Amino acid sequence: MRLSRYFLPTLKETPSEAQIASHRLMLRAGMIRQSSAGIYSWLPLGFRVLKRIEQIVREEQNAIGCHEILMPTIQPADLWRESKRYDAYGPEMLRITDRHERDMLYGPTNEEQITDIFRTTVRSYRHLPKLLYHIQWKFRDEIRPRFGVMRGREFLMKDAYSFDIDKAGARLSYNKMFVSYLRTFERLGLKAIPMKAESGPIGGDMSHEFLILADTGESEIAYHRDLLNIDLTKRDIDFDGNLQPIVDTFTLKYAATDQERDPVTEKNLGENLVTGRGVEVGHIFYFGTKYSKAMNALVTGPDGDEVMVEMGSYGIGVSRLVGGIIEASHDEAGIIWPESVAPFKVGLINLKSNDADCDTACEGMYDALGKAGVDVLYDDRGERAGVKFTDMDLIGLPWQLIAGPRGLKAGTVEVKCRKTGERQEVSIDSALSMLSQ
Ligand code: 5CA
């Protein structure tokens, strides 16, 4: 992508309404624009990151046999009357009346909708277990939307739902999702800590939140140091095998929110105790027959009896993750994208646009990297070098490839790693092969 033709409205000034780093940086890097309180438009750079996160979440859901569907944003109120949540949900729910005076709502979550799909399509235990998910916009009229996309009113969520014939099966589905979440967050370049949690308005009796560490997180947490040192991405996990040992490794280690902290345990943990703040990026729930009972979702069991299905639901805050990743990974100069979600891998900086040597070298590198399948943002604008450096650091692409007249005379360009700040002067060929890996 040529920056001269791109739509990247970066800001020099720090927007006054933004209280935390991710909100400030997303506005300054031209990723989002506010439409109204807690509601944002996604501009090209932000949209690319959102889509890359979405894709990793999708791949990891598919990997555990969870099937993608797409349910509507607008739901009929009658479904929520069946579950008794229409009144219970309160003013957070955006209620809408259509031209026929029918009560509708903009979905804050989809338990009712999926239970309705299930009860009208699945009749036998032989079709269980089933795991289904979608990635869809939600609306919650939060009393205090804040921190940009971190607590929005309109936000993108991955929500999955499991259906099992009995509690044991539901536990297996829960464990699959639990381990899949750990993998998902690791692939996003994050360390997530699972914590036992309250079920809140979703209901149910087993629930875990997944928190990523960030100083500006809304929850205060304490945990065993080991929880940060487990790497699942390198392990070949059999999702149809016994996942309980992995789940136990995480759930038996100490992890507690501020309200649940236990002074005795913490004293015993000694040096292994770490405290910090966290952002909730995922939340999983086992709620048994809460919805299947209320909405009559029955299947025929092995002995011919009608059985109420056991259900769970599993959320990931996809749009919140964009902010969460920035909270976990930035410096004074700007964002530092993990490679897995970066909007482009390489930022190519032409230090002297309109200089024949610089232009030729940059065009050649841009071409070669493009052919090698590398996403490159080429700063070909007629701006001063200082402006280009500042913008490139701000938008946080993992690698900068810098070409100027002096280096080119000696046959070299510079490769800078955004994360470490390390710079290497190398030939064009070696730069290209480094960045094409
Ligand atoms: N139905 C269940 C699971 S699918 C559910 O709705 N769970 S939730 O309420 O915990 O939301 C799931 C995830 O969505 C949260 O972990 C959080 O990451 C994200 N989320 C929730 N509210 C917001 C919000 N106002 N802005 C941005 N993300 C949010």
Q: Is the pLDDT of residue 51 over 90?
A: yes
Cβ atoms 223, 212 nearer than 8 A = no
Tell me the residue type at 241: G
Q: Determine which residue's CA is closest to atom 19 belonging to ligand 1.
A: 317
The protein residue with its alpha carbon nearest to ligand 1, atom 6, reads 109
Domain boundaries, the chain: 21-335, 346-436
Closest ligand 1 atom, CA of 110?
1
The Cα 127–Cα 97 span in angstroms is 37
Q: Is 157 in the pocket of ligand 1 (CB under 6 A)?
A: yes
Whether residue 155 has its Cβ less than 6 Å from ligand 1: yes
The CATH number that domain 346-436 falls under is: 3.40.50.800
Would you place residue 203 in the very low, low, confident or very high pLDDT band (cuts 50, 70, 90)?
low
pLDDT at 267: 92
Higher pLDDT, 252 or 408: 408
Assess whether the C-beta atom of 287 lies below 6 angstroms from ligand 1: no
First to last CA, the chain: 19
**pLDDT for position 218:** 84
Interval 87-98: pLDDT, tens: 999 999 999 999
Backbone angles phi, psi at 62, to 5 degrees: -60, -35
How far lies 312's CA from each of 78, 106, 114, in Å?
A: 22, 22, 11
* Ligand 1 center to 297 CA (angstroms): 25
User: For residue 151, what pLDDT band results from cuts at 50, 70 and 90?
Assistant: very high
For residue 338, cis peptide bond before it (omega within 30 degrees of 0)? no
Tokens representing 218 are: 């809304």
pLDDT exceeds 80 at position 204:
no
The CATH superfamily assigned to 21-335 is Bira Bifunctional Protein; Domain 2 (3.30.930.10)
Q: How far is the CA of 157 from the centre of ligand 1 (A)?
A: 7
Tell which atom from ligand 1 comes closest to the C-alpha of 140: 25
DSSP state of 153: S
351 Cα to the center of ligand 1, angstroms: 44
The 10s digit of each residue's pLDDT in 275-299 is 999 999 999 999 999 999 999 999 9
Look at residue 31 in the predicted model and tell me its pLDDT. 98
Nearest Cα residue to atom 29 of ligand 1: 317
User: pLDDT by residue (tens digit) across 345-371?
Assistant: 999 999 999 999 999 999 999 999 999
Percent of the chain with pLDDT over 70: 98
Residue 101 DSSP SS3: coil
Q: How far is the CA of 140 from the centre of ligand 1 (A)?
A: 9
| CA nearest ligand 1 atom 16, residue | 282
Candidates 140, 320, 327: which one to mutate for ligand 1, based on the most atoms within 8 Å of Cβ? Answer: 320
